Amino acid sequence: MSVHVSAHSGHAHDDEAAVERALDRLRARGHRITGARHAVIEALATIEGHPSADQLSEQVRELHPTVHRATVYRTLETLATLGVVTQVHVGGSATTYHLAADATGHEDHLHASCRVCGRIIDLPSDLLDPIKRRIADESDFRLDPPHIALSGTCRTCQ
């Protein structure tokens, strides 16, 4: 499955602000700012959309050629655990990433993935709130929808 990622079209200032917010979040929680962490956060701030680990690794290599692919993968896992990066499971074994809402200054959001073209569409964060409440009430289970993509077909592929 191909994951749609387009070149970032935002302003450099916005990218720098997102990097600084993510780094500040790490510092505030007492975590070190390693070169790899900085490189991965910078790559996430400069790529628009929801890149895969491979796509991020390529972006990191362009920005910081000495950071190895395995380091990027380990760093993504660490940053996701620390809440700086959001992991989104798209289907099968595919996983994509983006900076957490605190770093971007945008609201958190849900995801939908087109089974045909692989495009990932951002959805409002409160869309599944009634379903989350019902599952919690009836099943004693806490749903965490920002980390999974709903599967379907986008308007273009219908």
User: 117, 113, 116: which is closest to 149 by C-alpha?
Assistant: 113
| CA–CA dist 21, 26 (Å, integer) | 9
86: annotated binding-site residue?
A: no
| CA–CA dist 11, 9 (Å, integer) | 7
Edge-first strand listing for the sheet containing 120-124? 120-124, 109-114, 149-152
67: annotated binding-site residue?
A: no
CB 133 within 8 A of CB 48: no
139: annotated binding-site residue?
A: no
33: annotated binding-site residue?
A: no
User: 40, 45, 48: which is closest to 122 by C-alpha?
Assistant: 48
Residue numbers in the known binding site for Zn(2+) are 114, 117, 154, 157
Annotated binding residues, written as ranges, equal: 114, 117, 154, 157
